[in-house]
Chains A and B, each alone.
Chain A
Amino acid sequence: MTLSESAAAPAGEVVLEAVGLTKHFPVRRRLRDLFSRTPAVVHAVDDVSFALRRGQVTALVGESGSGKSTVARLLAQLYPRTAGDLRLHGAPTRVRGGRRFRAYVRQVQLILQDPFASLNPVHTVRYHLTRSLRIHGNAGRSAEDLEKALADLLARVSLTPAERYLDAFPHELSGGQRQRVAIARALGADPEVLLADEPVSMLDVSIRLGVLNLLQDLKNRLNLAILYITHDIASARYFADETIVMYAGRMVEGGDSETVTQHPAHPYTRLLTESAPDPERITGDGAGAARADRGRGEPPSLINPPAGCRFHPRCPHAMRRCTTDLPPRLTIDDRPGHWAACWLYDPATVAADAPGSAAPDADPAVPPPPALAERAGDTAPLEEAR
């Protein structure tokens, strides 16, 4: 049996969908907690919903501790979820291991951040790939089939000639080559979805792009749906079709990558894009650094997350409502599919608060919140995407 070179289904079809995904981790209880009703939990991921489509890359961007890696592990079903649903081809899935887990993993594969840790140092590349092929039933019947499948896999990740790499141990390979082996191992299952958890963060800058370009190429050739998790919003712009920004366990903004990175709407996304290193801002004295100084403070504790919008303690535009009510997804009219979970985009809220007090800094690159622009009189473009 050979691996299918391209799946028959059309691009854009939803393969894996997360609906209201939530994960709380219990915290070790102290004596005094025994008397309180609600056990303490870390709200690692709250109410995350998105869809992975065939032939598309969705990026999940956020600081460390924002819950983005937890989302990857939830999607890979390595953690049981607290609430919410995962739909593979529209069918709800909840697997706890065993045969159903294998069937699920065959379609959804995870690539981890650190190729130095994710490959077993005492085994060769051949062993890693053979195991993946065997477990997922792609090894064929004869030794020749297996050999061909192995060569195929390595060719797909541009490790050629295959003989040079097949019997190598992980320590004999460079970081980039190791990550390619890890990708080949994931492809051994012939999956439909790849979950890439910071696949290039551990690699040297000069080889990062090679691996990203490889993933892009695989996406196009194999029609894969890819979830790309990163803290580097610039690489999300480069690599992903759609970008979702997470903050403190919640999604705060989403839309196509170009819109989210070029016209960020949520104050947190703006902070993120302003903070990213930008060589165009050559100052040499760090004056550019001072600009983003208003983003002081740190992400909140997720054991007692702030009420309302979780960004409000750091937000320069925080209004009264932000401290009490959780903002729903509000559509932004500049591009289709662009949304932000921010009360600034709800005209009624802005009007109720002291007028003008919430005006963001005049930045021509950023679309003004509708309530402050000419659309002030319109009906509220409220849409709760649940």
Chain B
Amino acid sequence: MTDPVLEIRGLRVDYGLGDQAVRAVRDVDLTLHRGEVLGLAGESGSGKSTLAYGLTRLLPPPGVVSGGQVIYHPVDGPPVDVLSLTPAQLRRFRWAETSIVFQGAMNSLNPVHKVATQLLDVIRAHEPKSTPAARLARARELLRLVGIAADRLDSHPHQLSGGMRQRVMIAMALALEPQVVIMDEPTTALDVVMQRQILGQLAELRERLGFAVLFITHDLSLLVEFSDRIAIMYGGRIIEQAPAGQLYRDALHPYTEGLLHSFPALHGPRRELTGIPGSPPDLRAMPSGCAFHPRCPKAFDPCDETLPPLGPPGDGRPDRTVACWLHPVATPR
């Protein structure tokens, strides 16, 4: 495995302050390695989008990062803590080093400006010394990169289809050749055919440009196919993390297993599926112990009392971690 590019250590995000605060993300440790696709899956309300906004410091109030560190490792130079950057440093860091593709491309593009204006704006803001001709050439190149004809630069967003708009967003995210691209449900609003086209293109681009992707979605079946490693979030915590293949074939946490059994398979034998009983936890009144225990079919004594720590399971697979009493951590960290 290559060196890390983004390390999240003990990140905590609250909505509100004091006793009223809703703890949306709790003590999350996550490492994104250079050039890998890390999938982050979970139900709505599990804190996956909050985590993404927290680590890029895009949280709108009343969201507050109440603890932890986000260490970014530039290609050359010492590591920096994103959470302690000054506004001026942050402005340089954002988009040039980390960019985000949001869920609704329909809403992320300005409807009254041409695609060209919006793309050129990004480049001009970060490379003020470039000439207009160079910027235009770069914008054309970016569109070609994501498979859109360069003459589309003169279109307004409403003249593009949903898939094209999402591709323009991806082009924009890649404009400054960032090391990390965070994708928050980038294809949820799209059809499966378009989704596959875009993901295929993204995989190709990653191969060529070597950026790392934090891919956030609730569609685990998509992640298994597309990402290198997968982390599962539940109730604001990471509960399991493993290479995609291992996670799919041999899920340790009962929640992961439940998620995997929530998708009807297109191939293979037809089986009775159950889903996960119950509903996601209320973040204002989290269950004691393991947050999943009220819905867990395998819950036993310690589950409702003590929180299981996240760590490598006892039976010696160092590249994965799980937080479940069924698989106690061998050597607590």
A interface list, Cβ under 8 A from B? 63-64, 174, 176-177, 204-210, 213, 231-235, 237-239, 258, 261-262, 271-290, 292-293, 295-296, 298
B219 at the interface (CB under 8 A from A): yes
Known: A210-B277, A213-B275, A278-B225. A237 touches B196 (CB 8 A): no
Number of A-B pairs whose CB atoms are under 8 Å? 145
The DSSP consensus for interface residues of chain A is helix
Interface residues of B (CB under 8 A from A): 37, 43-44, 161, 163, 191-197, 199-200, 202-204, 206-207, 218-222, 224-228, 244-245, 248, 258-260, 262-268, 270, 273-277, 279-280
Q: Which chain A positions have C-beta within 8 A of B37?
A: 284
What would 23 A/B residue contacts be, using CB atoms closer than 8 Å?
A: A63-B193, A205-B262, A206-B43, A207-B275, A207-B276, A207-B279, A213-B273, A213-B274, A213-B275, A232-B192, A234-B265, A262-B267, A275-B195, A277-B225, A284-B37, A284-B228, A286-B199, A286-B202, A286-B203, A289-B200, A290-B200, A292-B200, A298-B161
Q: Are A177 and B279 in contact (CB under 8 A)?
A: yes
Contact, CB under 8 Å: A285 / B196: no
Residue on B nearest A211 in the bound complex, by CB: B275
Residues of A within 8 A of B225 (CB): 277-279, 281-283, 286, 288-289
> Once the chains are docked, how many angstroms separate the CA of A281 from the CA of B225?
6
Which residue of chain A has its CB nearest to the CB of B261? A209
Given A283-B225, A284-B37, A205–B192 Cβ distance below 8 Å? no
Tell me how far the C-beta of B288 lies from the nearest C-beta in chain A, rounded to whole angstroms. 21
CB distance from A155 to the nearest CB of B (A): 17
Identify the closest chain A residue to B277 (Cβ).
Answer: A210
Residue of A176, A204, A261 with most partner-chain B CB within 10 A: A204
- Contacting residue for A292 out of B44, B193, B202, B266, CB 8 A: B193
Asked whether A277 lies within 8 Å of B227 as measured between CB atoms, the reply is no
| Chain B residue with the shortest CB-CB distance to A280 | B267
Kindly state the separation between the CA atoms of A298 and B287 in the bound complex, as whole angstroms.
Answer: 47
Contact status A277-B280, CB under 8 Å: no
Which residue of chain A lies nearest to B248 when distances are taken between CB atoms in the complex? Answer: A279
Complex contacts, A231 vs chain B, CB 8 Å: 191-192
> When the two chains form their complex, are residues A289 and B244 in contact, meaning their CB atoms are under 8 A apart?
no
CB B205 to nearest CB in A, in angstroms, measures 10
Please pick, from A277, A282, A285, the residue contacting B192 in the complex, using a CB distance under 8 A.
A277
Chain A: which residue is nearest B282 at the CB level?
A: A174
The answer to whether A295 and B200 touch (CB under 8 A), given A205-B220, A238-B273, is no
- When distances are taken between beta carbons in the complex, the residues of chain A under 8 Å from B273 are 209, 213, 238
Q: A209-B273, A278-B267 are in contact. Are A204 and B280 (CB under 8 A)?
A: yes
Which 7 A-B pairs have CB atoms at the shortest separation, nearest pair first? Answer: A286-B203, A209-B275, A289-B200, A238-B264, A279-B224, A206-B276, A63-B191
**Structural contact, A206 and B264, CB atoms closer than 8 A:** no
Docked CA distance A274–B193 (Å): 8
Q: Which residue of A lies closest to B271 (CB)?
A: A238
B197 adjacent to A296 (CB under 8 Å): yes
* Minimum CB distance partner of A290 in chain B: B200
Measured CB to CB, the closest approach of chain A to B124, in angstroms, equals 31
Say whether B266 contacts A234, CB under 8 Å: yes
A275 contacts B196, C-beta separation under 8 Å: yes
**Chain A residues in 8 Å Cβ range of B279:** 174, 176-177, 207
CB distance from A263 to the nearest CB of B (A): 12
Kindly state the separation between the CA atoms of A205 and B222 in the bound complex, as whole angstroms: 12
